[in-house]
Amino acid sequence: MASDFLFSDESEQTPEQENNSGTWKVLIVDDEPEVHAVTKLALSDFSFQNKRLEFISAFSGKEAEKLILAHPDAAIVLLDVVMESDDAGLKVAQFIREDAKNNHVRIILRTGQPGQAPERHVIVNYDINDYKSKTELTAQKLFTVVMSSLRSYRDILSIEQSRQGLEKIITASRDIFSAHSMDTFIHGVMQQLTSILGSVDEAMYATSLVASNPNDKEQELIVFAGQGDFEKSEGKPVKQVLTEKQLLACQEALNNKSIVYEEDYLFAFCSSRFNHSSMLYVSGIPKVLTQTHKDLIEIFSQNVQIAYENVQLQSEVEDTQREIVYRLSEAVEQRSSETGNHVKRVSLICYELAKGYGLAEKESEILRYAAPLHDVGKVGIPDTILHKPSKLDEEEWRVMQTHAIKGHDILSGSRRDIIQAGAILARDHHEKWDGTGYPRGLKEEEIHIYGRIVALADVYDALRHKRCYKDAWSLQQVVTELENQKGKHFEPKLVDVLLNNIDSFEQILKNYPE
């Protein structure tokens, strides 16, 4: 071993790691204890981006394989070739890439017997990043190879972070109607900014509540999404989660509609037609930012807002669709002497029944927003029949039954999920489990699940409330009737879901009284 390594009889202990700033893990794989000691001594004062080295030792190939699995975040492997066998190191290199699927760690092959592992052969046939003879690895050259390897590792992590961010954005755009798509999207774009800067500790995206005056600078910023400590602050006003100094910087960025850089964090102002005041906060940024970095951050912060606006616009369209459905349904219910709260109650009852039945969240949500359309066909029924306080005669009942098909005809043909569901349940919500219902006399699972759920929700709510032709029933009367109609009018499983959770359904009735 070259004299530059400064062999010493002193203790092998390395300086205490600076845990606050993190460490770079270096796995030393060699069957000679002296090599471990010399390597640690030569690199004892090494630092890169304010992070020291953390050494992990393995004295055989088999031990190295276990440690690489235990430390997937290792940055460098200093790997001997000849250990328990002549090719033990090469097998470890192969294990790292093929079995552990770790393509990030930098593998530096060190050998004291170059003839047994020719450099050209090894470089061509094994995915290693450098090849050194132990005799040429002076302290200075070891420092150089570790420094260059850490830079490569840092850049690889940055690229991987960028890939993960893009993946989240793509997932959010593909699943735009998901309840958490906006949240996933924002986390993705924040991760992209992290990849631009190379090192970020925390990030936060805050947005203002929509106000009537877009020039109002006093709108309260709310944490929409966050990473690090801010992950637990979502939904809170920024004034509750930022320090006084940070709030001043935030306000400066808000007032000047600009990006404010402090020692180790930044605030980037964003705006759009929907959110008049949005702010991107990132901490842990490099102390020295190049102009290129700043230009990228400025472009990125504006592109974030454009993308955010597109996602929000989709949400606005969806909310508008739901509101129209509710208002239309309320108009129909008022015409048939029922209150708008009947619409709300049936909607919520359907949602809870769907979840209890086992439908997926997306299906349950669609049913929730489509359920108010179940009686839309009543717009085609004469008032004399709708408001008749006594029992309908045979001809009047025949006319009343047509509202199921009328509702289906009104809503069919739409490409929107909610309207499509509305057409189905408008047609099927008067079918009965035993086949005695209308308009098509379907039975059991021939009836669409939406129709089966709305049938139970509608009858349950109607029985519990007064109508022009009847008084409200007591809870016990309703429970008895549902038990009697189990397997006749209603699917048995759905009746069980309702009766087993009757308190929660009764609470819905209390929350939305007549």
Which residues are catalytic, by number? 378
Phi/psi of residue 80, nearest 5 degrees: -80, 150
**Closest to 77 measured CA to CA, from 116, 119, 126:** 126
List the beta bridge partners of residue 108. Answer: 78, 130
Q: How many helices (H) and strands (E) does the chain have?
A: 18, 11
Q: Please say whether the beta carbons of 369 and 417 come within 8 A.
A: no
Neighbours of 118 (CB within 10 A): 12
Q: Please say whether the beta carbons of 188 and 172 come within 8 A.
A: yes
Task: Take residue 49 and report the two structure tokens written for it.
Answer: 């981006």
**Closest to 181 measured CA to CA, from 351, 324, 189:** 189
Cα–Cα distance measured from residue 477 to residue 220, given in angstroms and rounded to the nearest whole number:
51
Burial of 120 (0-12, 13-18, 19+ CB in 10 A): exposed
Looking at residue 399, the DSSP 8-state letter turns out to be H
Neighbours of 471 (CB within 10 A): 8
